[in-house]
Amino acid sequence: MTATTDRTTTDPSTTDERVSPPPVRLALTPANAPPGLLDGAWWPRSRDLFRELPTLTARLDVCWGRITRVTVNPTHWPVIPRKVPVAGHTVGVGWFSKEQDPHKLILLSYTADRGRWDLLVIPPETTAASADRLMSAAAVPGSLLTARMLMDDEHRIRDAAEDRGRTAEWDAEGGAAPPPGHSTGLRASATLER
């Protein structure tokens, strides 16, 4: 009899330390591209910085030099560790609640020529289609769009798609009742007859 073990499980009791973490979901502007306000986008799998940052910084250490410090806005991160161990070194983590865009991660490296990179942080619960659009937009060389602007644009795109879906559903059902949240422009009036 042969036993097969699925090593892709997330059950902590069956996790094997030799299994590597899933690949980083990351899009970066090309090297030597004209500078913009963002250097790319990162789509973490959770809001756990202690778990997510080691994989990201280990990947970026290869192309940008050793990442030594990361800053975030605490709006979307429930716990912000002061330090995170990464292969061979420790990354300091700081936060700014008013000075930093809540949708941006700043990475610092003192061994690289440039020293600072700004990434759009795509919320973990984002759909793949939205994340793909956001990653592409954040990696455009020389772009002057901020992280907040990209997220606001994506919300408008998503809301418009939902409105089109509700209208299509309404039309398919014969238009018997307006879709939820839709105003017909008509006011109800009561008439009393004597």
Per-residue pLDDT of the chain (194 residues; tens, 9 = 90+): 333 222 333 344 444 455 677 889 999 999 888 989 999 999 999 999 999 999 999 999 888 889 999 999 999 999 999 999 998 899 999 999 888 999 999 999 877 577 899 999 999 999 999 999 999 999 999 999 999 999 999 989 877 767 676 776 767 777 655 556 655 544 444 444 44
Q: What is the token pair recorded at 66?
A: 């050793």
The full DSSP string for 24-55 is: P-EEEPPTTPPP-S--EEE--SSS-HHHHHHH
Strand order across the beta sheet in which 69-72 lies: 26-28, 40-42, 116-121, 104-108, 69-72, 89-95, 83-86
Q: pTM for this one?
A: 0.72
Boundaries of every domain in the chain: 21-165
